């Protein structure tokens, strides 16, 4: 994993295409005074949970963003590792941003509604900051 953006208020983890959305969300949130650390997972197996845990120890909050479904997904594993290794550092329950729990639609307009993006990441960050 690699820290793509340093921050102090919340850690956002993402991989692949979602890293760009996480960075865009971090930019918008910075305008509101929320400092986001964006961690690009880069590989899922092995998952570099040490980098994630160190970031969460610094920020005390976690939002995991992924394109896949929430149940049994990458975000679920990221949250589990943080709970195992940094529970006492958390100031808020971790949140996961993921695809809606529906079959991925073929129509582009419906696909866009089911997949997460910048707005959903921003909403989750604001929830963990509340």
- How far is Cα 88 from Cα 75, in angstroms, rounded to an integer? 19
Q: Residue 99 CA to chain centroid, in angstroms?
A: 13
- The residues facing 115 across adjacent strands are none
Q: What residues does each domain of the chain span?
A: 2-129
pTM: 0.96
CATH number of 2-129: 3.40.50.920
Q: What is the pLDDT of residues 28-62, one digit of tens each?
A: 999 999 999 999 999 999 999 999 999 999 999 99
Q: What is the pLDDT of residues 75-99, one digit of tens each?
A: 999 999 999 999 999 999 999 999 9
Q: Could you tell me which of 104, 98, 102 has the C-alpha nearest to residue 124?
A: 98
């Amino acid at each position: 994993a690699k820290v793509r953006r340093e921050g102090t208020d919340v850690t956002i983890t993402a991989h692949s295409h979602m890293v760009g959305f996480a960075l865009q969300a971090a930019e918008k949130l910075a305008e509101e005074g929320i400092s986001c650390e964006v961690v690009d997972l880069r590989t899922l197996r092995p998952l570099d949970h040490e980098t994630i845990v160190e970031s969460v120890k610094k920020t005390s909050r976690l939002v995991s963003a992924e394109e896949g479904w929430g149940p049994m997904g990458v975000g679920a594993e990221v949250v589990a590792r943080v709970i195992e290794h940094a529970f006492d550092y958390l100031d808020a329950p971790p949140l996961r941003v993921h695809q809606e729990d529906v079959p991925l639609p073929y129509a582009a307009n419906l696909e866009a509604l089911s997949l997460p993006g910048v707005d959903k990441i921003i909403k989750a960050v604001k929830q963990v900051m509340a």
